[in-house]
Amino acid sequence: MIAFSDVSYSYGGDNLLSNVSLELPQGSFHFLTGPSGAGKTTFLRLCYADLIAASGRVDVFGQDVRGLSRDAIAHLRRRVGVVHQDCQFLDHLPLRENVALPITVAGGNPEEEARDLDELLEWVGLSGHRDALPPQLSGGERQRAALARAVVMAPDMVIADEPTGNLDWEMSLRLLRLLTELNRMGKTVLIATHDLNLIRAAKQQTQARVLRIRDRQVQPAGADL
């Protein structure tokens, strides 16, 4: 699904990632961990062609992203749902319309997808908040809404950047269960996190593997996690 071949990326003249080679197979579940500033978000952005490697090759869905046109990259990104750290929404739109935004941007008609949208909101436990404005939602509700928005286009892969960073443990486990369900449905899942307890909890539910960024390399973590 995603393959890195000798990939390096620099920011501000400093190497964040150097000579990274690895594969994320279809249907896999990976965590990415490492200290703050190590390059976790950079790695994720390389995975969905929001950044282009300084050197090396990144293949996403079998395509070398360096040779893709802007339209081709936009099409590729429709196959990847991303849950960002900041969970930004349009505060003047109700939750249901915020979740449906990817459909609108892609030129679709959310009203034609009304039943699927309502089922999606029920799946994340937000059917009773469909008309609420984003500022009225709690942190956990916003994170679940962000996940719903990320998967509304039925992507093949879900990428989440520190999705539980501002949540309590109970809500973190609820979000983890949703991501685990997606993986069992065949979606590839990649989560960046510094929460080792979350990783340990996930290993009890799924065949999650852990990658660690250390010394600008991305490598399998040891059995201590």
DSSP state of 154: -
The pLDDT score that the predictor gives to residue 222 is 66
CA max distance for the chain: 49
Averages of pLDDT over runs of 10 residues in the chain (225 residues) are: 94 86 95 90 95 94 93 92 90 95 86 85 93 94 93 94 88 90 94 92 89 92 64
DSSP state of 9: E
Any idea which residue has 């196959």 for tokens? 79
The pLDDT score that the predictor gives to residue 205 is 82
Distance, in Å, from the CA atom of 225 to the CA atom of 214, rounded to the nearest integer, reads 15
Distance, in Å, from the CA atom of 189 to the CA atom of 212, rounded to the nearest integer, reads 16
Any idea which residue has 């079998």 for tokens? 62
The pLDDT score that the predictor gives to residue 225 is 57
The pLDDT score that the predictor gives to residue 184 is 93
Distance, in Å, from the CA atom of 35 to the CA atom of 37, rounded to the nearest integer, reads 6
Tens of pLDDT along 72-86?
Answer: 999 999 999 999 988
The pLDDT score that the predictor gives to residue 207 is 86
Tens of pLDDT along 79-129?
Answer: 999 999 888 999 999 999 999 999 888 888 888 877 889 999 999 999 999
- Name the E strands within 78-202: 80-83, 157-161, 188-192
Closest CA to 65 of 43, 49, 45: 49
Q: What are the beta bridge partners of residue 33?
A: 212
Burial zone of 207 (CB within 10 Å; 0-12 exposed, 13-18 middle, 19+ buried): exposed
